[in-house]
Amino acid sequence: MYKFIDGGVTAPQGFTAQGICASIKPSNKTKRDLALIYCDTLCNAAAVFTKNLVKSDTIAVTKEHLKNGKAQAVIVNSGNANTCNADGYEKAVRMCEIASDVLGVDKENVIVASTGVIGEILPIEPIEKGAEAMRGKLSKDGGTNAAEAIMTTDTVKKEIAMTMTLGGKTVTVGGIAKGSGMIHINMGTMLSFVTTDAAITADMLECALKEAVEDSYNMVSVDGDTSTNDTLAIMASGKAENPEITEKNEDYKTFVQGLTEAFRMLAKKLAADGEGASKLLVCKVSGAKTKQDAIKVSKSVICSSLLKAAMFGADANWGRVLCAIGYSGADVDIKKVAVSFKSSKGIIDVCKDGAGIPFSEEKGKEILLENEIEIIVTLGDGNSEAEAYGCDLTYDYVKINGDYRT
């Protein structure tokens, strides 16, 4: 039903992008730090944002612009979060004006976002010059440059593109994301910009976005800190010419499932690239009484600092899994719980009926030395399931964040 293809945010019809080094941080002379994404037609659009009470003013401006469910462009910078600044709102508005001038769109149809250090004044001059340098240079190949431009402590770019069939027409979804630290469950957990050429109303697009995020981005945690700038925005050009989705019909369900799969792939990329991380952790929970219980358990396990540290040390310390289940708040009969660890090196059962069972520590270490680990939890209470995404906790996490600002 879904096919992953080459490309990113510019894969759908109508979209181009570009990213450039604007030296928003004077010390940055080479890394791209300013991006533009553009559609040649006005799109239906929607977004979800951080739940943190401390928010970047870019969020306030974007929320205002999306009240009518329309957008045509995105401007985003890294290197400075434009958060907790007296002139933050003014600077966010100015960024929209800059994009408006360069791209020839209404400033009210621009989505704006920033990421980087909190509490430092955003210099607007580099953004003006950088955007001007991109005038006429947005392209189908520019999406990967845009993906780089939104990175902060990320070590790799996060891009994805996929196709699906709606009403007999091929529909494409493309996206980029950034996130490495200050990432915790409760949308958004990062910056992500998604495009599609699906024909879908703004109301249905918003519903689809909120549904898809619950089983994907909202299941990611790196360090327990919810960012101040989290934004996930989507624009739909309608150029695929599928019958417009106006209600929650079969095409709508297919679209939501496709979005969810795309977001899950990006969510795993975010988790695997957590600050200092050496391993992607996926906690798969089954046998829960309710979906909410499964979510609580999987999130609790993936967020446990003790468990994350054990995974870094390749220590099959299953007791830390049970500990996290116990304080998760889920309705669980601990005496029914089973735990296994799995990787490309195999699978090992370490706990059954809430108690330890004999296993080979050597085999356990071999399994946990791999760079992608599944923590498999079977609750034995029902039929609901969920999975959450995280990473191990390494020495480098402290090194990175010990001098992040300076």
* 8 A C-beta contact, residue 207 and residue 36: no
DSSP state of 140: G
Report the candidate in 54, 50, 75, 78 with the shortest Cα–Cα distance to residue 65.
Answer: 75
DSSP state of 345: T
Residue 293: strand, helix, or coil: helix
Strand order in the sheet with 338-343: 355-356, 346-352, 338-343, 372-378, 280-288, 384-391
Active site residues: 189
Helix axes 319-326, 305-312, angle to 10 degrees: 160
Spatial distance between the Cα atoms of 277 and 391, rounded to a whole number of angstroms: 6
User: What would the DSSP string read from start to end of 218-244?
Assistant: GGB-SSS---SS-EEEEEE--TT-PPP
Degrees (nearest 5) of the Cα angle 338, 381, 332?
75
Residue 18: strand, helix, or coil: strand
* 8 A C-beta contact, residue 380 and residue 333: yes
Spatial distance between the Cα atoms of 96 and 105, rounded to a whole number of angstroms: 10
Spatial distance between the Cα atoms of 34 and 114, rounded to a whole number of angstroms: 9
Report the candidate in 86, 92, 147 with the shortest Cα–Cα distance to residue 114.
Answer: 92
Distance linking the first and last C-alpha atoms of the chain: 48
Run of H or E residues at 195: strand 191-196
Spatial distance between the Cα atoms of 117 and 315, rounded to a whole number of angstroms: 35
Residue 46: strand, helix, or coil: strand
